[in-house]
């Protein structure tokens, strides 16, 4: 491009030469666009390249971030304390799910409704109590209570809060502002919600008639509602001052035709408690369907009544629940009524399960079993109250400590201490949504804590340790994240899943490693180039087969086949190697020139033919084999109903004993044998060698059988261990098909490693007179060992993370047994099954992310180690 | 040091034997004879090694053959057999498979002595056949096992038809009568053929009206509703603009409703005609089913077909398979949406994976100094390749769908909340997830391709004064392109076959709408999609009757395998073609 020459330059009168020189200099400068392009490209490519590191780190960090809240402790979001204007000691307190209204019942019949955030009194009602309240109890929702009096009377009461919506236009006149959020009028509290309407909370308080149930003061009460929607049950238990326990149960029966409801009430006096006269009852507890009652006494004993037949109540069991001389001072069921929390005078908090046990020393076969002891409180436990939605409870002690405890995960979530201003005994409750605790002292001092307990049901111990869950006989590793009812305990042990992953990977590697390695060695060392050029791409193509296809074939084709022909499959494990060895010994008998001529592809075809023959014979002999060893019913045998462990142990020990016999032969007779062979020509030597092999096989069988019989004689039976009852979708099938998926991986990498061994090593070895077999075994394989090992590691990484095959073919039962014939559930399959259903940011969601993180870290280590080994191997191979 | 290539060595197990034989040929030499030291040759071990390789090949070949055989033969029409059983009952069905099985004790007890003797002679085994008796609406099951000893006689009567119905699957039986225009008529083959074709045309017409036109109206009504909400969110519920919007939208909705009812009337009119054209089907036992003619997708007299007719049915079934939507809980009909979903997702994935993969390879080969950093990058690449695919699915769900998608929803689609638009699994997130999963494949292949470009070419370019980027852009990349393309196609093959992560990030068993359609903005990256691999899983494992779905699974499997093998083959083809094209550029 011609550059315009400034006039000034022309005017200066410089020569044309100088102009040309300047122009050349200018054109030698790189254009700006090129420099810019260069910079941008360099920048983009560097950032892009480093993105890979960020991607790996990013995945890990993201998974961590989702998982972390599982293990973080809870936080206290807010706290209020106020003195409520009460006129007599408070005996009961309730609140609504929005933590807005509190209702306190006082000893003199007064009920104060207060605003929790400000402590302001919203409403006050006065009832007339004929005597002092001596006992009080309520349902789990705390809105229906029963009050027991010193004169032997009881009264039922309702103490709830109803929640309705009011449009702005219909708000009542004369609203009083309580705080920034709430306004009140006529005992109601109005709160603006997102839709623009007002949430209206109305206290609902009513008191029933006086009912005389005893001559003596009532000292303990319990009140429960339960049953089904069609047949609700209301039940209450009472204990009077002389220790008489009574249970009343009302069942409402609805007539389907008329809609009429009839109430049938049954009241029974329970059999007398087996206690000394100076021992008194402290607590009574009744189940929702009123089929069992538990009475606690101040000598530290629990007495359990079986009320399944209410007309004939039985005292089923009495047992000590606290240390000697320690009274039981508080008692409650956890949600679901499976666990019983016992609070002692010494501050102890223990949990009991009612378990059915054979040989239990009780009247009904059940037994109260101490499942766990929580951390003890500093002083006597005076009040226990359970959460409505999970397995936590709040405990209050005499010193004013209020603890929120999660029972399943055995952790104290929050430890509160009330301020010094409160006087008298206190009680505490968990707000209905489980997001706070309300404590009320007798003198009207109220404290409320707003909390957020992050995934209280999960701790490290829950994830990786044994936990004693409700309904189980002992602590166990269980995965059961969802259940039919809300109140069932979710069970989040990752151990069965990790176990399943290991089991699947183990069986897969058991099949894959030998086949892949042997095939790789054969391909790299013993076949010519052309065979290799077709075989290797074929194996590589296998690598890209979708595993969903393999899984489908495993589950719908292979699993039923294997189940039908299990005996033939078992036989196949022996007929295949024996058939191949037979082929080899027959081949040895061939005259050398024939063997030499047909070496290579014809021999390889013959091997394939031998395999087909062996498979065919396994198929044909399967039933006879089953008849011979397992009385014709292998699946029946696995359950342990028929036969002994000998036949299976014989099969398992056969390869080992063959190796042992082979070693012994070589060690003790090898020299003589070699001398014996040395005098013969090749064909004759081959015949002798075949004879030797047959004898060794027979010896191995004999040896194996005698060892197996010996094991049976000393009482060992594999059934119940790594063999047990047969399921169609089992580890054998999974292992086999997963091996199919893993073999190409291991094969390709191992073959690459073997191939990378420099040719001059082979040449040197062969030149020294070693046969190709000796060269492969003693020169090539040891050199490539680290590369081969890294191939195995990579294969294992794939087996650990494989998903679809396991989802489809493994049965997905999270059990922990090594049984080859049972199903399993792996981490990956578990994620694939449960994550689509998991609620975002819920506990299960985060635990599944933890499962993913576990997988990620497992494979991260396996792959990093494999890669490091491979890099080292490569360096060494180049140095050779 | 002389480097001896492996090829120069006689690589065969018999080399040792050859040496032995040669030595044996020399007489009279009394050196220690190694002649028959068979352990040095290791023949049994060699057979074991070779056997392992042979076993691997047999398994692969057998596996592929099984899939191909089952997939190819599924659509071939098979005869309907009428089987009379010894207990007097008669069943009609298509024999699907069979084989020997062990007869249970409870069955043996009920047999007569000769049969029992026969079974005992066979070692307690007998053979049986699985008949597809179809007629699910009458029998409550599609299949029945019949043991050979139960059978009194079989025949293949000419008047037995095989009906493929829109609902309830297949019916096997006779035609008892026809109702044309409300008039009952005896069965006549020509009338049936003519009327069935017309009925299918009506059926297609109704479907077109419902899908296209009524679908479009519903879509527009939804758009108007969203427009009202958007206005309320943007300008406040009480503002004038919102009120104006509501007014215009409601007017539009009223118009659309009117259009809707017109269309609905047309549909109802066709339906009424449809109901007047009926057919009575009769199963082998004489029970009848009355159904509309339009419900019959395809029918044929299974025992009377000539070879060409069979071929015609075979081809038409394949065409239906690749060109229509599934019916009967995916166990019948076609897989068009799944093919579409698989291809669309894979293409989208390539768009993401290509630049990232190539850039990383360029960094590793052309820009970075080989050292600790590149070593870490390589380990990272390797780790990306080794991380289980399900972990990517988890990451995709948590990060792409919930975190990124949730943010997009809040910023751009607040009017649809709480219904997520991008904040759930969808084709965009699925392809991003798979891009992450397949990027190592592209990186490794591209790196190989880059390293294959001779150093001299780079140096030549640089010596001519080109900058690094110019060298890469005009010299290195074109040369490496075939290899890069191969990597890309291999990544596609890998991505197309992956199912586990998709289960978490947007694949569904039945997608109501394709990711690309005629409504603005035409490409809907937020939509869920169907996928061939997931289709296999779904039909095989989550349908009411996995046995009835099995043929479908085999055919889908075949299709998926063909797709993946084709991609692999294309990779090779493209590589070769490009190699030829750029061959002239070589120095």
Cα–Cα distances in angstroms (integers) from residue A704 to residues A207, A691, A696, in the given order: 83, 20, 12
> What's the total number of domains in chain A?
2
What's the pLDDT at A454?
81
Chain B contacts in chain A segment 621-660 (CB below 8 A): 623-624, 627, 632
Same domain assignment for residues A469 and A557: no
Same domain assignment for residues A555 and A482: no
What's the pLDDT at B14?
43
Measured in angstroms, the CA of A526 and the nearest CA of chain B are apart by 5
Average pLDDT of span A762-772: 90
Domain that holds residue A793: 495-563+730-879
d(CA A328, CA B229): 61
DSSP label at B425?
Answer: -
Write down how long chain A is: 880
Q: Would the pLDDT of A323 be above 80?
A: yes
A48, A522, A762: residue with CB nearest B363:
A48
CB-CB under 8 Å, B46 with A49: no
A623, A760, A855: residue with CB nearest B3:
A760
The residue with greater pLDDT, A606 or B106, is: A606
Residue ranges, CATH 1.10.3720.10, chain B: 336-449+482-583
* Chain B residues closer than 8 Å to A808 by CB: 537, 540-541
User: Please, which pLDDT band fits residue A828 given cuts at 50, 70 and 90?
Assistant: very high
A557, A581, A612: residue with CB nearest B44:
A581
Cα–Cα distances in angstroms (integers) from residue A649 to residues A291, A508, A707, A712, B299, in the given order: 51, 21, 8, 9, 58
Chain B contacts in chain A segment 235-294 (CB below 8 A): none
CB-CB under 8 Å, A747 with B49: no
CB-CB under 8 Å, A583 with B47: yes
Same domain assignment for residues A792 and A844: yes
What's the pLDDT at B3?
42
A527, A542, A680: residue with CB nearest B60:
A542
Average pLDDT of span B205-214: 85
CB-CB under 8 Å, A538 with B13: no
Same domain assignment for residues A480 and A534: no
d(CA A409, CA A456): 7
d(CA A725, CA A820): 9
The residue with greater pLDDT, B26 or A54, is: A54
CA angle A581, A585, A586 (to 5 degrees): 115
- B interface test, pick of A852, A871, A878 with most B CB neighbours within 10 Å: A852
Chain B contacts in chain A segment 527-566 (CB below 8 A): 527-529, 535, 538-539, 541-542, 544-549, 551-553, 555-557, 564
Q: CA of A627: which chain B residue's CA is closest?
A: B123
In a domain, A771, yes or no: yes
- A interface test, pick of B32, B56, B63, B380 with most A CB neighbours within 10 Å: B56
Chain B contacts in chain A segment 831-870 (CB below 8 A): 831-832, 835-836, 840, 848-849, 852, 855-856, 859-860, 862-864, 866-868
Cβ neighbours of residue B416 under 8 Å, at least 6 residues apart? B226, B229, B409
* Chain A residues closer than 8 Å to B569 by CB: none
Measured in angstroms, the CA of A171 and the nearest CA of chain B are apart by 21
Nearest to B505 by CA among B383, B400, B358, B404: B400
Span of B108-112, B191-195, B432-436, B468-472 with lowest mean pLDDT: B108-112
d(CA B503, CA A836): 8
Measured in angstroms, the CA of B414 and the nearest CA of chain A are apart by 15
Same domain assignment for residues A810 and A742: yes
Same domain assignment for residues A811 and A736: yes
Measured in angstroms, the CA of B320 and the nearest CA of chain A are apart by 23
Sheet holding A436-441, edge to edge: A75-83, A445-452, A436-441, A426-430
> Is residue A398 less than 8 Å (CB to CB) from chain B?
no
d(CA A384, CA A380): 11
Q: CA of A609: which chain B residue's CA is closest?
A: B54
A519, A583, A610: residue with CB nearest B53:
A519
* Chain A residues closer than 8 Å to B536 by CB: 548-549, 552
Average pLDDT of span B60-69: 91
Portion of chain A with pLDDT greater than 70, in percent? 96
User: Please, which pLDDT band fits residue B11 given cuts at 50, 70 and 90?
Assistant: very low
Same domain assignment for residues A486 and A512: no
What's the pLDDT at A635?
82
d(CA B183, CA A791): 75
Average pLDDT of span B560-585: 71
Same domain assignment for residues A820 and A739: yes
What's the pLDDT at A699?
94
Span of A674-688, B217-231, B497-511 with lowest mean pLDDT: A674-688
Same domain assignment for residues A752 and A829: yes
What's the pLDDT at B23?
44
Q: Would the pLDDT of B518 be above 50?
A: yes
* Chain A residues closer than 8 Å to B11 by CB: 525-528, 772
Measured in angstroms, the CA of A33 and the nearest CA of chain B are apart by 11
What's the pLDDT at A27?
66
CB-CB under 8 Å, B67 with A553: yes
Average pLDDT of span A150-176: 86
d(CA A876, CA A724): 47
CB-CB under 8 Å, B60 with A539: yes
Strand pairing class (A101-106; A90-95): antiparallel
Whose tokens are 């063909």? That residue is: B562
Residue A263, class by beta-carbon neighbours within 10 Å (0-12 exposed, 13-18 middle, 19+ buried)? Answer: exposed
- A interface test, pick of B3, B360, B391, B565 with most A CB neighbours within 10 Å: B391
What's the pLDDT at A506?
92
In a domain, A628, yes or no: no
Q: Would the pLDDT of A646 be above 60?
A: yes
Question: What's the per-residue H, E or C state across B354-399?
Answer: HHHHHHHHHHHHHHCCCCHHHHHHHHHHHHHHHCCHHHHHHHHHHH
> Do residues B384 and B357 make contact, with C-beta atoms less than 8 angstroms apart?
no
Average pLDDT of span B561-577: 77
CB-CB under 8 Å, A693 with B52: no
CB-CB under 8 Å, A56 with B380: yes
Mean pLDDT, rounded, of chain B: 83
- Give the tens place of pLDDT for each residue, A451-509: 988 888 888 888 898 989 888 888 889 888 877 666 778 888 899 999 999 999 999 99
- CATH number, position A509: 1.10.3720.10
A515, A693, A758: residue with CB nearest B55:
A515
Q: Would the pLDDT of A709 be above 60?
A: yes
The residue with greater pLDDT, A362 or B471, is: B471
- Give the tens place of pLDDT for each residue, B335-351: 889 998 998 899 899 99
A516, A608, A760: residue with CB nearest B1:
A760
What's the pLDDT at B5?
41
User: Please, which pLDDT band fits residue B218 given cuts at 50, 70 and 90?
Assistant: confident
Measured in angstroms, the CA of A636 and the nearest CA of chain B are apart by 13
Q: CA of A769: which chain B residue's CA is closest?
A: B16
What's the pLDDT at B465?
87
* Chain A residues closer than 8 Å to B367 by CB: 42, 45-46, 49
Counting one residue from chain A and one from chain B, the pairs whose CB atoms sit within 8 A come to: 386
- A interface test, pick of B3, B29, B38 with most A CB neighbours within 10 Å: B38
What's the pLDDT at A582?
92
* Chain A residues closer than 8 Å to B571 by CB: none
Mean pLDDT, rounded, of chain A: 86
Same domain assignment for residues A795 and A872: yes
* Chain A residues closer than 8 Å to B402 by CB: 840
The residue with greater pLDDT, A227 or B242, is: B242
What's the pLDDT at A720?
74
The residue with greater pLDDT, A253 or A31, is: A31
CATH homologous superfamily of B336-449+482-583? MetI-like (1.10.3720.10)
Cβ neighbours of residue B367 under 8 Å, at least 6 residues apart? A42, A45, A46, A49, B468
User: Please, which pLDDT band fits residue A513 given cuts at 50, 70 and 90?
Assistant: very high
User: Please, which pLDDT band fits residue B373 given cuts at 50, 70 and 90?
Assistant: confident
Q: Would the pLDDT of B29 be above 70?
A: no
CB-CB under 8 Å, B541 with A808: yes
Q: CA of B541: which chain A residue's CA is closest?
A: A808
Average pLDDT of span B71-94: 88
> Do residues B332 and B324 make contact, with C-beta atoms less than 8 angstroms apart?
no
Domain boundary among A493, A513, A543: A493
* Chain B residues closer than 8 Å to A682 by CB: 17, 20-21, 35-36
- B interface test, pick of A552, A740, A742 with most B CB neighbours within 10 Å: A552
3-state helix, strand, coil in chain A (%, to 5): 45, 25, 30
- Give the tens place of pLDDT for each residue, A328-352: 999 999 888 888 999 998 999 999 9
Chain B contacts in chain A segment 739-768 (CB below 8 A): 740, 743, 747, 755, 758-760, 762-763, 766
Measured in angstroms, the CA of B4 and the nearest CA of chain A are apart by 5
d(CA A127, CA A88): 13
Maximum average pLDDT range among A699-708, B108-117, B358-367, B561-570: A699-708
Nearest to A834 by CA among A815, A817, A814, A816: A814
d(CA B229, CA B246): 9
* Chain A residues closer than 8 Å to B38 by CB: 588, 677, 685-686, 689
């Amino acid at each position: 491009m011609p550059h315009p020459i400034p006039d000034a330059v022309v005017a200066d009168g410089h020569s044309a030469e100088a102009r040309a020189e300047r122009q050349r200099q200018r054109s030698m400068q790189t254009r700006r666009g090129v420099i810019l392009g260069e910079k941008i490209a360099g920048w983009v490519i560097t950032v892009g390249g480093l993105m890979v590191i960020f991607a790996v780190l990013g995945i890990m960090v993201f998974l961590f971030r989702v998982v972390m809240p599982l293990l973080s402790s809870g936080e206290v979001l807010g706290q209020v304390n106020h003195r409520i204007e009460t006129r007599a000691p408070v005996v009961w307190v309730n609140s609504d799910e929005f933590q807005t209204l509190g209702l306190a019942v006082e000893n003199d019949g007064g009920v104060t409704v207060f605003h929790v955030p400000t402590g302001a009194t919203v409403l006050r009602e006065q009832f007339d109590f004929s005597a002092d309240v001596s006992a009080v109890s309520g349902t789990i929702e705390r809105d229906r209570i029963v009050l027991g009096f010193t004169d032997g009377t009881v009264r039922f009461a309702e103490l709830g809060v109803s929640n309705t919506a009011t449009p702005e236009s219909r708000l009542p006149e004369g609203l009083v502002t309580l705080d920034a959020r709430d306004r009140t009028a006529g005992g109601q509290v109005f709160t603006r919600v997102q839709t623009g309407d007002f949430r209206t909370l109305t206290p609902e308080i009513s008191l029933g008639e006086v009912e005389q149930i005893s001559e003596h003061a009532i000292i303990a009460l319990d009140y429960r509602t339960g049953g089904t929607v069609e047949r609700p049950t209301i039940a209450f238990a009472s204990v009077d001052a002389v220790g008489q326990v009574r249970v009343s149960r009302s069942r409402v029966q609805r007539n389907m035709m008329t809609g009429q409801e009839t109430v049938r009430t049954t009241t029974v006096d329970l059999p007398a408690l087996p206690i000394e006269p100076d021992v008194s009852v402290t607590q009574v507890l009744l189940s929702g369907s009123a089929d069992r009652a538990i009475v606690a006494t101040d000598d530290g004993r629990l007495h359990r009544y079986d009320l399944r037949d209410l007309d004939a109540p039985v005292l089923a069991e009495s047992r000590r629940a606290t240390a000697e001389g320690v009274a039981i001072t508080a008692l409650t069921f956890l949600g679901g009524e499976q666990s019983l929390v016992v609070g002692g005078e010494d501050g102890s908090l223990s949990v009991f399960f009612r378990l059915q046990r054979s040989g239990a020393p009780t009247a009904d076969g059940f037994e109260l079993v101490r499942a766990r002891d929580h951390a003890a409180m500093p002083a006597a436990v005076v009040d226990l109250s359970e959460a409505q939605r999970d397995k936590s409870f709040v405990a209050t002690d005499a010193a004013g400590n209020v603890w929120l405890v999660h029972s399943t995960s055995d952790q104290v979530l929050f430890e509160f201490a009330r301020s010094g201003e409160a006087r008298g005994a206190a009680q505490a409750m968990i707000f209905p949504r489980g997001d706070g605790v309300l404590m009320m002292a007798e003198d009207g001092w109220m404290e409320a804590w707003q909390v957020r307990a992050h995934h209280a049901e999960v701790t490290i111990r829950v994830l990786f340790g044994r936990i004693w869950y409700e309904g189980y006989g002992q602590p166990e590793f269980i995965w059961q994240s969802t259940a039919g009812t809300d109140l069932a305990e979710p069970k989040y042990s990752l151990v069965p899943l990790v176990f399943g992953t290991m089991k699947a990977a183990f069986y897969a590697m058991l099949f894959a490693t030998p086949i892949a390695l042997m095939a790789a060695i054969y391909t790299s060392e013993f076949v010519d180039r052309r065979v290799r050029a077709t075989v290797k791409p074929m194996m590589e193509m296998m690598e890209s087969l979708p595993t969903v296809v393999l899984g489908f074939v495993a589950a719908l084709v292979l699993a039923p086949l294997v189940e039908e022909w299990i005996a033939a499959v078992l036989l196949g494990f022996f007929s295949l190697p024996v058939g191949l060895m037979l082929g080899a010994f027959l081949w040895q008998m061939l005259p050398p020139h024939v063997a030499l001529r047909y070496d290579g592809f014809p021999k390889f075809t013959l091997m394939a033919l031998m395999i087909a023959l062996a498979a065919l014979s396994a198929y044909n002999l399967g039933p006879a084999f089953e008849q011979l060893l397992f009385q014709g019913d292998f699946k029946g045998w696995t359950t342990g109903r028929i036969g002994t462990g000998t036949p299976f142990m014989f099969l398992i020990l056969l390869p080992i004993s063959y190796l042992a016999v082979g070693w012994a032969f070589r060690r003790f007779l090898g020299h003589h044998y070699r001398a014996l062979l040395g005098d013969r020509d090749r064909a004759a030597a081959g015949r002798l060698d075949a004879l030797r092999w047959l004898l060794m096989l027979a010896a191995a069988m004999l040896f194996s059988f005698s060892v197996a019989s010996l094991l049976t004689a000393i009482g060992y039976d594999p059934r119940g261990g790594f063999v047990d009852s047969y399921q169609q979708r089992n580890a054998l099938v999974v292992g086999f098909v997963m091996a199919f998926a893993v073999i190409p991986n291991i094969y390709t990498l191992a073959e690459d490693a073997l191939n990378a061994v420099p040719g001059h090593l082979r040449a040197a070895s062969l030149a020294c007179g070693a046969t190709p077999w000796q060269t492969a075994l003693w020169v090539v394989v040891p050199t490539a060992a680290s590369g081969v090992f890294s191939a195995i590691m990579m294969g294992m990484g794939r087996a650990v993370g494989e998903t679809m095959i396991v989802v489809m073919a493994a049965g997905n039962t999270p059990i922990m047994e090594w049984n080859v014939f049972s199903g399993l559930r792996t981490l990956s399959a578990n994620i694939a099954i449960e994550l689509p259903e998991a609620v975002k940011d819920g506990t299960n969601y985060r635990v599944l992310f933890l499962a993913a993180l576990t997988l990620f870290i497992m494979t991260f280590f396996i792959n990093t180690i494999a890669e490091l080994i491979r890099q080292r191997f490569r360096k060494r191979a180049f140095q050779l | 040091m002389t480097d001896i290539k492996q090829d120069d060595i006689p690589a065969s197990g018999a080399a040792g034997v050859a040496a032995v034989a040669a030595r044996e040929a020399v007489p009279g030499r009394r050196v220690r004879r190694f002649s028959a030291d068979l352990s040095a040759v290791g023949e049994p071990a060699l057979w074991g090694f070779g056997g392992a390789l042979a076993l691997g090949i047999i398994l692969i070949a057998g596996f592929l053959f099984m899939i191909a055989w089952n997939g190819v033969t599924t659509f071939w029409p098979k005869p309907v057999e009428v089987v009379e059983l010894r207990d007097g009952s008669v069943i009609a069905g298509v024999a699907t498979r069979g084989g020997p099985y062990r007869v249970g004790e409870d069955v043996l007890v009920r047999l007569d002595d000769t049969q029992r003797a026969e079974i005992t002679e066979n070692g307690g085994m007998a053979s049986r056949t699985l008949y597809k008796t179809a007629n699910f609406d009458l029998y409550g099951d599609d299949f029945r096992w019949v043991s050979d000893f139960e059978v009194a006689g079989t025949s293949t009567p000419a008047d037995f038809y095989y009906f493929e119905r829109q609902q309830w699957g297949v019916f096997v039986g006779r035609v008892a009568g026809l109702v044309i225009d409300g008039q009952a008529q005896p069965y006549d083959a020509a009338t049936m053929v003519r009327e069935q074709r017309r009925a299918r045309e009506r059926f297609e017409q109704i479907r077109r009206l419902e899908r296209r036109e009524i679908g479009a109206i519903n879509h527009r009504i939804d758009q108007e509703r969203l427009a009202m909400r958007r206005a309320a969110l943007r300008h406040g519920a009480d503002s004038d603009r919102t009120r104006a919007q509501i007014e215009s939208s409601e007017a539009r909705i009223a118009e659309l409703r009117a259009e809707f009812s017109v269309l609905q009337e047309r549909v109802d009119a066709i339906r009424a005609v449809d109901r007047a054209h009926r057919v009575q089907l009769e199963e082998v036992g004489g029970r009848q089913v009355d159904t509309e003619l339009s419900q019959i997708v395809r029918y044929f007299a299974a025992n009377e077909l000539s070879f060409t007719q069979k071929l015609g049915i075979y081809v038409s079934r394949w065409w239906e398979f690749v060109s229509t939507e599934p019916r009967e809980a995916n166990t019948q009909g076609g897989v068009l949406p799944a093919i579409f979903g698989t291809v669309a997702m894979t293409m989208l994935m390539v768009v993401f994976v290509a630049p990232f993969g190539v850039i990383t390879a360029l960094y590793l080969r052309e820009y970075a100094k080989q050292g600790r950093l590149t070593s870490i990058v390589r380990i990272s690449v390797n780790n990306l390749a080794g991380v289980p695919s399900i972990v990517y699915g988890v990451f995709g769900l948590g990060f792409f769908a919930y975190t990124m998608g949730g943010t997009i929803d809040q910023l751009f689609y607040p009017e649809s909340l709480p219904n997520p638009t991008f904040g759930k699994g969808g084709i965009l997130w699925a392809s991003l997830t798979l891009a992450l999963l397949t990027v190592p494949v592209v990186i490794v292949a591209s790196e190989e391709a880059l390293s294959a470009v001779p150093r001299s070419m780079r140096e030549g370019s640089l010596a001519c004064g080109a900058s690094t980027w110019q060298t890469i852009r005009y010299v290195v990349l074109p040369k490496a392109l075939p290899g890069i393309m191969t990597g890309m196609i291999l990544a596609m093959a890998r991505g197309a076959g992956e199912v586990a992560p998709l289960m978490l990030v947007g694949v569904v068993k039945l997608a109501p709408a394709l990711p690309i359609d005629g409504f603005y903005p035409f490409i809907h990256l937020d939509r869920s999609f169907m996928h061939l691999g997931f289709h296999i899983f779904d039909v095989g494992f989550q349908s009411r009757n996995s046995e009835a779905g099995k043929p479908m699974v085999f055919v889908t499997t075949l299709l998926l395998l063909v797709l993946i093998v084709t991609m692999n083959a294309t990779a090779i083809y493209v590589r070769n073609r490009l190699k030829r094209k750029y061959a002239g550029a070589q120095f």
